[in-house]
């Protein structure tokens, strides 16, 4: 009996090592489909169904349960927040380890209310993972002005609604005035003075997203014209402008920040500068750019190759159809700051060393994805998902998982993933960017 057991163990070991068994057909090393399933070095990946268990419109009381895991909640619950975050309350079983919080809703940002508008921000103090980029959501009533100012960081903007007239003067003395419409962009380099004013194109004014290339940026720390002059002796101001002190009797005693004004004319032009106009415009009619259409949605990109003034910020504007995804990918060198304009999304971030965490997002939310975390963006709603991928860089870049595998020697891919020849042959050699749902 002992001898039989020894022979049996040898046979089992031989099979596990892939040795040929007498009388068995030879294994074709180039055909996974014709070979027997090998015993994996590690267990196969989970087949667990990991779809979101509910959504913000579900009429349920969420529970911290997924299949046989977890249990009911006996204490108090904040049901509206739990409905918005199924992947936090009942995460996919593929989540593991520690990824810092990567979600911030603008709805949780303190709002600064002014006569003429409001502003709320997200900085590293709200979302500590967001080291490279900060954002401000601002609304100006028709005619209202975000006063003349400058700041240490560059300013990039995307117009959400209404129209905004911008003005700026370069260090060389060149001046520029233009109007940005919904979907358009503007950009001001660090330290360059500028102003923003809502036009009368919409009776409700203008709302826009401002992005700054430093996570520590604070909107309340900008250099304001009125704040500066309120802290300079009037005799010095008069001497500077070569006039009498009485000319400045009515300057504000403190900052204005946002204040009412008369809507600017549609054809407003700046004073003629002896230095002329800047070589590149500080606005970009991104709204007029035709997007590239993919099976799962659309994408269009603006960086310094197209919006030449924008030296430190690049953007991809993306729509994803229901059931489709922004393909598995990563960005080689730059963190991603994402703003969701409409729809519902799910994003899993992979941070290496078995660390992965899934987050749910909706309109008005901010996501932050450090470089070079692998991730996808899935439309989990039944309407179009619309969002902006924003980067602190002059050039948009991403790496597609599918393209990487398609352009890698097939045998190497097969050794890693045990894919069939057919699956490998069907890998796309061009980026898909957006992938539509698979129809059975």
Instruction: Tell me the per-residue pLDDT of 397-419, one tens digit each, with 9 for 90 and over.
Output: 999 999 999 999 999 999 999 99
The model's pLDDT over 150-207, given as tens digits with 9 standing for 90+, comes to 999 999 999 999 999 999 999 999 999 999 999 999 999 999 999 999 999 999 999 9
Q: Is residue 440 part of a domain?
A: no
Reported in sequence order, the residue ranges of 225-354 that DSSP labels E, i.e. its strands, are: 258-259, 283-284, 292-294, 297-302, 314-320, 325-330, 336-342, 344-350
Residue 214 lies in a domain: no
Same domain as 143, residue 56: no
Q: Note whether 149 and 278 are same-domain residues.
A: yes
Indicate whether 195 and 308 sit together in one domain: no
Distance CA 361, CA 356 (A): 17
Same structural domain for residues 228 and 347? no
Which of 269, 284, 299 marks a domain boundary?
284
Domain match, 29 and 44 both: no
pLDDT of 113 above 70: yes
Domain end (from 244, 264, 284): 284
Give the separation between CA 318 and CA 298, rounded to whole angstroms: 6
Note whether residue 124 is domain-resident: no
Residue 16: the pLDDT is 39
Q: What is the CATH number of the domain that holds 305?
A: 2.60.120.10
CA dist 238 and 248 (Å) reads 8
Looking at the structure, do residues 10 and 46 belong to the same domain, yes or no? no
SS3 412: helix
Mean pLDDT in residue range 328-356:
98
**What is the reported pLDDT for 20?**
34
Q: Take residue 432 and report the two structure tokens written for it.
A: 């898909």
Domain count, the chain: 4
Backbone dihedral angles phi then psi of residue 264, each to the nearest 5 degrees: -75, 155
Asked if 188 and 211 count as a contact pair (C-beta separation under 8 A), the reply is no
Instruction: Examine the domain organization and report whether 430 and 354 are in the same domain.
Output: yes
284, 302, 329 - which closes a domain: 284
Within a domain: 275? yes
* DSSP-assigned states of every residue in 249-282: TTS-SS--SEE--PPPPTT--PPPPTT---SS-S
pLDDT of 371-389, one tens digit each?
999 999 999 999 999 999 9
* Coil/strand/helix, residue 179: strand
Q: Are residues 89 and 18 in the same domain?
A: no
- Same structural domain for residues 81 and 64? yes
Alpha-carbon Rg for the chain, nearest whole angstrom, is: 28
Clarify whether residues 45 and 145 are in a common domain. no
191 in a structural domain: yes
pLDDT tens sequence across 65-112: 999 999 999 999 999 999 999 999 999 999 999 999 999 999 999 999
Q: What are the catalytic residues? A: 389
* Statement to judge: residues 54 and 172 lie in one domain: no
- Where in the sequence is the domain holding 17, given as residue range(s)? 1-37
Residue 73 and residue 152 in one domain? no
**How far is Cα 291 from Cα 192, in angstroms, rounded to an integer?**
31
Please check whether residue 419 lies inside any domain of the structure. Answer: yes
Q: How confident is the model at residue 11 (pLDDT cuts 50, 70, 90)?
A: very low
The per-residue pLDDT for 277 is: 95
Q: Is the pLDDT of residue 31 over 60?
A: no
29 C-beta neighbours (distance < 10 Å), count = 10
What pLDDT, on a 0 to 100 scale, did the predictor assign at position 266? Answer: 84
d(Cα 129, Cα 335) in Å, to the nearest integer? 10
The dihedrals phi and psi of 377, each to the nearest 5 degrees, come to -130, 115
Q: Kindly report, residue by residue over 301-338, the tens digit of the pLDDT.
A: 999 999 999 999 999 999 999 999 999 999 999 999 99
For residue 199, being part of any structural domain is answered with: yes
Question: Is 113 among the domain residues?
Answer: no
């Amino acid at each position: 009996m002992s001898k039989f057991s020894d022979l049996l163990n040898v046979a089992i070991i031989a099979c596990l090592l892939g040795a040929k068994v007498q009388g068995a057909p030879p294994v074709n090393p180039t055909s996974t489909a014709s070979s027997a399933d090998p015993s994996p070095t590690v267990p196969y990946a989970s087949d667990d169904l990991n779809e979101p268990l509910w959504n913000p419109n579900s009429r349920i009381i969420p529970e911290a349960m997924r299949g046989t895991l977890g249990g009911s909640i006996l204490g108090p619950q904040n049901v509206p927040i739990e409905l918005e975050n199924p992947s936090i309350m009942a995460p996919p079983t593929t989540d593991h380890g520690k990824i810092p919080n990567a979600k911030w809703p603008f709805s949780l940002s303190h709002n600064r209310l002014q006569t003429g508008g409001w502003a709320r921000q997200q900085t590293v103090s709200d979302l500590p993972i967001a080291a490279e980029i900060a954002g401000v959501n601002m609304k100006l009533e028709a005619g209202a002005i975000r006063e003349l100012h400058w700041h240490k960081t560059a300013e990039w903007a995307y117009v959400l609604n209404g129209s905004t007239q911008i003005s700026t003067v370069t260090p060389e003395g060149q001046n520029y005035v233009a109007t940005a419409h919904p979907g358009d962009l503007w950009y001001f380099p660090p330290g360059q003075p500028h102003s923003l004013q809502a036009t009368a194109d919409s009776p409700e004014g203008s709302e826009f997203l401002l992005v700054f290339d430093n996570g520590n940026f604070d909107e309340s720390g900008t250099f304001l014209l009125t704040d500066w002059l309120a802290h300079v002796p009037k005799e010095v101001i008069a001497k500077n402008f070569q006039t009498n002190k009485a000319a400045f009797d009515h300057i504000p005693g403190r900052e204005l920040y946002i204040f009412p004004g008369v809507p600017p004319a549609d054809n407003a032009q700046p004073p003629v500068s002896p230095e002329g106009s800047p070589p590149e415009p500080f606005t970009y009619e991104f709204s007029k750019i035709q997007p590239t259409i993919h099976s799962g949605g659309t994408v269009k990109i603006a960086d310094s190759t197209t919006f030449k003034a924008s030296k430190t910020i690049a953007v991809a504007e993306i729509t994803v159809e229901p059931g489709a995804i922004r393909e598995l990918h990563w960005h080689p060198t730059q963190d991603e700051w994402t703003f969701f304009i409409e729809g519902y999304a799910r994003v899993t971030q992979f941070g290496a060393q078995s660390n992965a965490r899934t987050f749910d997002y909706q309109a008005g939310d901010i996501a932050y994805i450090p470089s070079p975390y692998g991730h996808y963006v899935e439309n989990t709603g039944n309407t179009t998902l619309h969002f902006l991928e924003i980067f602190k860089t002059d050039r948009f870049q991403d790496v597609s998982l599918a393209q990487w595998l398609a352009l890698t020697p097939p045998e190497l891919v097969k050794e890693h993933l045990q894919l069939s020849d057919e699956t490998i042959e069907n890998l796309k050699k061009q980026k898909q960017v957006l992938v539509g749902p698979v129809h059975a």
